[in-house]
């Protein structure tokens, strides 16, 4: 079991404070779940300089592009596989890219 200490000036009961902390971690976990599960971000071995931050930004952009693609109806993993295999698939429709 891990013990964590929190400091706050908020005038909350212990129950409300615990709820606020749980809600914060729920949002945090929800945001990073896709990066970890779909792109295996936790297994990333990039450590040099600020490369880890840069690659994290690239992963965020890729997830956003694939999530916003409404033409190819599939999950993120399948869209990633399609993008890797199909040179013509960009995840962005021509109308969205301004190339139409």
- Closest by CA to 55, choosing from 39, 68, 69, 77, is 39
The pLDDT, as a whole number, for residue 99 is 46
Residue 5: inside a domain:
no
Residue 50: inside a domain:
yes
Residue span of the structural domain in which 55 resides: 14-97
Residue 3: inside a domain:
no
Count of domains in the chain? 1
Q: For residue 95, name the pLDDT band (cuts at 50, 70, 90).
A: low
Alpha-carbon gap, residue 72 to 36, rounded angstroms: 22
Q: What is the mean pLDDT of residues 53-80?
A: 87
3 state SS of 46: coil
Residue 24: inside a domain:
yes
**pTM beyond 0.75:** no
Residue 27: inside a domain:
yes
9-63 residue pLDDT tens: 889 898 998 898 888 777 667 767 888 888 888 788 888 899 988 988 888 888 8
97 or 56, which is more confident: 56
The answer to whether the beta carbons of residues 56 and 41 sit under 8 Å apart is yes
């Amino acid at each position: 079991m891990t013990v964590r200490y929190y400091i706050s000036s908020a005038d909350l009961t212990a129950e409300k404070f615990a709820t606020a902390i749980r809600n914060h971690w729920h949002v945090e976990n929800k945001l990073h779940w896709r990066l970890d599960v779909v792109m295996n971000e936790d297994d990333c071995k990039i450590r040099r300089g600020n490369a880890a931050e840069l690659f994290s930004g690239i992963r965020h952009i890729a997830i956003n592009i694939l999530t916003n693609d409404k033409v190819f109806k599939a999950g993120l993993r399948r869209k990633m596989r399609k993008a890797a295999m199909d040179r013509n698939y960009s995840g962005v429709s021509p109308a969205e890219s301004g190339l139409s």
